[in-house]
Structure 1
Amino acid sequence: MHVSLYVADLTATVRFYDAFFGQPAAKIRPGYAKYVLDKPSLIISFVENAGRVQSHFGHLGFQVETVAELDERLTAARAAGLVQREEMGTSCCYAKQDKFWVNDPDGVEWEVYYFHEDAEFNDPRYQAEYDAAGTSQCCLAPAVGQPAEVSEKLETAPMAFALDTVASCAPSSGPGGVCC
């Protein structure tokens, strides 16, 4: 899977995602950065263009394979000051899950979760949030910015994602021979 997002400040974005993904970008060019992740399998790129940054499109996320992996990632995210909210044992999106949320420098919300089992209902403790949002959607993360101390912690407490090697990108035949 490939995702590309517009960002306002590429330097802040790279600093955040180096910590969140636990690895450096595979490619950084003027106004552009790309990460190639093995676990979860994802190629994500960031294009610096503040005028095209969009908010409220929903959220991004990934499912981890074990409770132990969720605990490791949550511990690292806490240490880096990234966690915005934790939800353990919740029934959201008709599934029993343990999860936590982080927000990148442009407010993009990420959900990291472990799926326990399907559920026949959504957790009613979130009904006030749903009502305030004027919808019955689940999986709402708080609309808050990063804590002020995050930028300091990002450099010292990377979030380990137990990733294998970073795949290299062979030049394409596109303009400038750069692939995304």
Structure 2
Amino acid sequence: MQRLHVNLAVEDLDRSIAFYRTLFGAEPTVRHADYAKWMLDDPRVNFALAQRGRAPGVDHLGIQVDSAEELAAVTHRLAEAGQAVVEQHQTECCYARSDKTWATDPTGVPWETFHTTGDLTTYGKDSDTVAPASACCGDTPCGTEATAEAERCCV
């Protein structure tokens, strides 16, 4: 089953948590000094807040999947849509270990599709590295080095 993912960059995490706690009527499922996440069932969404030095606002959108097969299917659909796709394997980011694909929609919004395979006690391998500004042509996706695939999508 798939779940919509929304990641917001925030300046004041506590203030944002207070707002979304009231809006969702629930405490965050995950809470750290620089990060909070709600795993909601109605609506079915993985809603994350990160205070990591990015400009406030929508950082990226995504689809969380439950299996490697679902990840492959969504990745295939992204490629069919004509978008360059950057794949990541066992990336450590956002207090989780995941396999991911990144693509940027025609308006420049980064989309992350991911299958989480484990939890972490730290933000990630490169905990000082922030989430991507885009899957291409800028900061590289969280926890990775720039790849030839990422460079090709700039063409």
TM-score by length of 1: 0.40
Which structure would you say has the larger Rg?
Answer: 1
Question: Larger relative CO (CA 8 A, sep 6+): 1 or 2?
Answer: 1
Q: Which protein has the bigger helix share?
A: 1
